[in-house]
């Protein structure tokens, strides 16, 4: 039996209309991470009672759409 844990988590910002914050040069969505040394208690409990049946292995071809 294995425990499901979080490997990586990123965030993005959006305005009140839901438009993401874009990089001024590339036009891509700016991606953010939690600064080192900070704890976010809500994320510590994220995996409690998680149903691992909804997971699939990432083989580098995953499409989120």
pLDDT at site 23 = 96
Interior angle at CA 46, CA 44 and CA 51, nearest 5: 135
pLDDT tens, 22-46? 999 999 999 999 999 998 988 888 8
* Alpha carbon 45 to its chain's center: 15
pLDDT at site 63 = 60
C-alpha torsion angle, residues 45, 49, 50, 52 (rounded to 10): 140
Domain ranges in the chain? Answer: 1-48
Pick from 3, 6, 13: nearest CA to 44 = 6
């Amino acid at each position: 039996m294995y425990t499901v844990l979080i490997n990586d988590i990123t965030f993005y910002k959006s305005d009140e209309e839901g438009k993401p914050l874009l990089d001024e040069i590339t036009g891509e969505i700016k991606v953010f991470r939690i600064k080192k040394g900070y704890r976010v208690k809500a994320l510590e409990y994220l995996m409690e009672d998680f149903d691992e049946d909804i997971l699939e292995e990432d083989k580098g071809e995953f499409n989120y759409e």
